[in-house]
Amino acid sequence: MAKLRSKDSDRICSFCGKSQDMTKRLIAGPSDLYICGECIEVCAKILAEGDSDFFDFSAEIPRPKEIKEYLDQYIIGQDEAKKALSVAVYNHYKRIANPAGRNDVEIEKSNVLLIGPTGTGKTLLAKTLAKKLRVPFALVDATTLTEAGYVGEDVENILLKLIQNAGGNIESAERGIVYIDEIDKIGRKGENVSITRDVSGEGVQQALLKIIEGTVASVPPQGGRKHPNQELLRIDTTNILFICGGAFVGLDKYIENRVVEHPLGFGADSFVKNISAKELFKHLHPDDLIRYGMIPEFIGRLPISVCLEELKHEDLKRIITEPHNSIVKQYKASLAYDDVELDFTEEAIDSIAATAIKQKTGARGLRAIMERLMTEIMFELPSIPGKKRVEITKEAVEKMALPEIKTMEKKTA
């Protein structure tokens, strides 16, 4: 008896599970197996590139000084944070490269907690580390995570992003770096016991414990919820480095209350005020984080705490101009395609940095300020023929106005 052919609506990709109407093309194979065009592209990319994009651990692991020198090209300031991260990352990948250890001593994984105000470079530090080490990188937001079974993302979706960024190569993903942003937002909502479940706070911390420490997790290939009879991807998180970051607004008050111990007498108030945030965070203790709302088990799995300093005026000026991919260099390169020579005066750079300080947005706010400043310029310039020159002055920054555009005529022989 001839085998009945399946209907078009019943056909699904055997790799990603997409149906016929969800993909442009579905190619049939033997025994009612199918593969969609998107999965073919992914497979072709993996075959063409292999693991050449990722570190194979057969070469020598970059030393901490080498890692910091690379970070210096992209990140201004934060020297202490860069040193601590360079050492932590070097030790982590040295541990992976030597799994047997020496004298039967097994080295445990050291995940990292980054604490610092918004716009100080926490995300950029993690992303640049992954770029230097040529390992897959995933950036996730803790505020979207909820405890399993509730509306929101399950913690396993963190690992799915890492697998996708590794081109589907689970072996490479198992050596990657995951940065979980806004980790302070999943603190317990209060010390009092509530009759309702804290599914987006303490519940998420509890769910993250095993993944961060190291376990074989089951991940749905398309994300979303797990359901029966679903094929799951298995990934070992033992060698994945987790870096968690957050602003932890108000944490300084907990440290201050513990360190200062209510000084009395003349000058007591000035004594408290004269302690800089940098000095204060040097006294950070796990108990301060527990009072803030993090559970002890979660803090125990993040043994390395790195505090980033708030960026000063001079730091922001350097960020605008110095890094390898600074904002000014990006705009100059972009406008060069339109035959535009772009220049910024020293006073203009000062004014942009001062605006970012005033807005309290740190380095993240620099892009928004520059976009407002450059929109009118980038709108007008492409329509003007010939070679042009534009100088951004302090007045142009303060008024957000279109500066004078000079056309540079070619000299005739």
Residue 296: other Cβ atoms inside 10 A: 10
| Residue numbers of the domain that contains 320 | 313-408
Please report whether residue 57 resides in a domain.
no
Q: Do 183 and 292 belong to one domain?
A: yes
The pLDDT, as a whole number, for residue 155 is: 84
| Bridge-based pairing state of the strands 34-36 and 26-28 | antiparallel
Q: Do 26 and 152 belong to one domain?
A: no
Q: Do 319 and 299 belong to one domain?
A: no
pLDDT, tens digit (0-9, with 9 covering 90-100), for 255-290: 888 877 655 455 545 545 566 667 788 888 899 999
What percent of the chain has a predicted confidence (pLDDT) above 90? 28
Please report whether residue 253 resides in a domain.
yes
User: Which of 5, 2, 35 lies closest to 20, judged by CA?
Assistant: 35
**In the block, which residue shows the tokens 């040295």?**
94
Q: Do 332 and 380 belong to one domain?
A: yes
How far apart are alpha carbons 317 and 93 in whole angstroms? 34
Of the residues 307, 340, 373, the one at which a domain ends: 307
Of the residues 276, 291, 307, the one at which a domain ends: 307
Q: Do 83 and 180 belong to one domain?
A: yes
Structurally, the chain folds into a number of domains equal to 3
Q: Residue 163, Cα to own-chain centre: how many angstroms? A: 16
Q: What is the DSSP string of 189-221?
A: S-SSPPSS--TTTHHHHHHHHHHHH--EEEE-T
pLDDT in tens, the chain (413 residues): 344 444 555 788 888 878 877 777 888 888 788 888 888 887 776 665 544 455 555 567 889 999 999 999 999 888 989 999 999 999 988 888 877 656 667 778 889 999 988 888 899 999 999 999 889 999 999 888 876 656 557 788 889 999 988 888 898 899 999 999 999 988 876 555 454 555 667 888 888 998 998 889 888 877 656 556 667 889 999 999 999 999 898 888 888 888 776 554 555 455 455 666 677 888 888 999 999 989 999 999 999 999 998 888 999 999 999 888 889 999 999 999 989 999 999 999 999 999 988 888 888 888 899 999 999 888 988 888 889 899 999 998 988 888 888 887 654 44
Alpha helices in 337-391 (DSSP H): 346-359, 364-380
What is the number of alpha carbons within 13 Å of residue 34 lying toward its C-beta?
24
The number of residues in the chain equals 413
Please report whether residue 54 resides in a domain.
no
User: Which of 357, 260, 246 lies closest to 307, judged by CA?
Assistant: 246
Longest dimension (CA), the chain: 100
How far apart are alpha carbons 61 and 72 in whole angstroms? 18
Q: Which two tokens stand for residue 141?
A: 């937001």
Q: Do 222 and 283 belong to one domain?
A: yes
Of the residues 307, 334, 362, the one at which a domain ends: 307
Q: Do 365 and 243 belong to one domain?
A: no
Q: Do 209 and 189 belong to one domain?
A: yes
